[in-house]
């Protein structure tokens, strides 16, 4: 424990010198930190910057977020994926308006009651904004600490996470927000998950067991148990002579629930099978052209997509028919289908 305590001072000094300038770090406004932390789940920082700026321009306050309609919210979120995060933001904002008079809760325990706010996010907000001495342990922090202490315990296990949280609570300084951010920053900029970390630039390399014993490639240990599922789909870009494109809304459950999609079918259909499908849908085909293969990777499933451009005689009532401009500006289309449109 004394060895781990020794990381605190050099880590805080390193952070003050090297921390990146990020839009949500301009102040410690809890609303800004909350939105950024939710966006950063499963998404790289560089990708989030433009989304964050646009989101704040459109929804600068909790009150605005609470009152936004779902379609606009999902359009603002388009491309970030994991759309339940956006819906939970809206639910949480409504709760804050009703229960906390429009102001963010100020303690870790209160924050945990907000929809979509888990232990890590609550810890990040509570420590960064209110300097509460709580941990914020994500994958970056698990990797950094596992390497420092030379742990070969599986970081995918909750038991391992709990042990590391306790170790960090025992050494947590009064500058808890800076300490938590410093660990995250180190994991993102120095102690990489893939490829060679830049250990020579790390302020903790003299204390890091994995570095000293040449165990960087062996730690952290991750024993994956989930098997990925592969699905094959035929995706159709159906367009009329007036250049209206067919879309439809997905059901409100499961993967990509409530978002819009291009018409598609399970399996790898040939042109004759596509024509039969379109006939069942009440559409007359002028021409079918093969576009390309596309792939999209979700958390537990991969989509392999064969994509076709289908020119039809006219619209029908089964689908919504929108212009390209409407599709871009109004309707939230998941990244999987954006790949096809592009």
User: Using CA atoms, how far apart are residues 12 and 14, in angstroms rounded to an integer?
Assistant: 5
* Whole-angstrom distance, CA of residue 184 vs CA of residue 272: 53
Helices then strands, counting H and E runs in the chain, come out as 16, 7
Instruction: Give the DSSP H or E segment for 313.
Output: none
**Which residues make Cβ contacts (< 8 Å) with residue 276, sequence separation at least 6?**
none
Distances (CA, A) of 110 to 61, 107, 118, 126: 19, 5, 11, 10
| Residue 195: both structure tokens together | 């490829």
Cα 176 to chain center, whole Å? 24
Nearest CA to 264 out of 297, 245, 238 is that of 238
> Rounded CA gap, 145 and 205, in Å?
12
| Of residues 100, 115, 118, the one with CA closest to residue 62 | 100
What the block records as the tokens of 214 is 């040449």
Spatial separation of the C-alpha atoms in residues 222 and 208, rounded to whole Å: 19
**Residue 143, both tokens:** 């990797």
Distance CA 275, CA 289 (A): 12
DSSP lists the bridge partners of residue 295 as: 304
* Catalytic positions: 37
């Amino acid at each position: 424990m004394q060895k781990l305590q020794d990381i605190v001072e050099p880590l805080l000094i390193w952070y003050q010198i090297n921390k990146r300038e990020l839009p949500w770090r301009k102040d410690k406004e809890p609303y800004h930190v909350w939105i950024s932390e939710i966006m950063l789940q499963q998404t790289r920082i560089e990708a989030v910057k433009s989304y964050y700026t646009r989101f704040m321009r459109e929804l600068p306050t909790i009150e605005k977020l609470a009152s936004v309609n779902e379609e606009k919210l999902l359009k603002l979120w388009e491309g970030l994926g994991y759309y339940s995060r956006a819906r939970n933001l809206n639910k949480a904002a409504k709760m804050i308006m009703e229960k906390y008079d429009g102001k963010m809760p100020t303690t870790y325990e209160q924050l945990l009651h907000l929809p979509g706010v888990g232990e890590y996010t609550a810890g990040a907000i509570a420590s960064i904004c209110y300097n509460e001495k709580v941990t914020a342990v994500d994958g970056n922090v698990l990797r950094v600490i596992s390497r420092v202490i030379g742990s070969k315990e599986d970081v995918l296990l909750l038991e391992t996470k709990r042990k590391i949280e306790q170790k960090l609570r025992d050494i947590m300084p009064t500058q808890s927000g800076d300490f938590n951010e410093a660990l995250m920053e180190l994991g993102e900029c120095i102690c990489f998950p893939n490829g060679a970390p830049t250990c020579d630039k790390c302020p903790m390399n003299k204390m890091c067991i994995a570095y000293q014993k040449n165990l960087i490639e062996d730690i952290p240990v991750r024993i994956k148990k989930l098997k990925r599922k592969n699905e094959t789909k035929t995706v159709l870009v159906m367009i009329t002579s007036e250049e209206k494109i067919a879309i439809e809304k997905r059901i409100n459950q499961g993967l990509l629930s409530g978002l819009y999609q291009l018409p598609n079918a399970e399996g790898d259909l040939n042109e004759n099978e596509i024509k039969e499908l379109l006939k069942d849908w009440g559409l007359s085909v002028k021409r079918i052209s093969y576009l390309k293969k596309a792939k999209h990777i979700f958390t537990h499933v991969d989509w392999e997509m064969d994509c076709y451009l289908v020119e039809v005689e006219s619209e029908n009532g089964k689908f919504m028919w929108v212009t390209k401009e409407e599709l871009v500006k109004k309707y939230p289309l998941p990244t999987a289908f954006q790949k096809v449109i592009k």
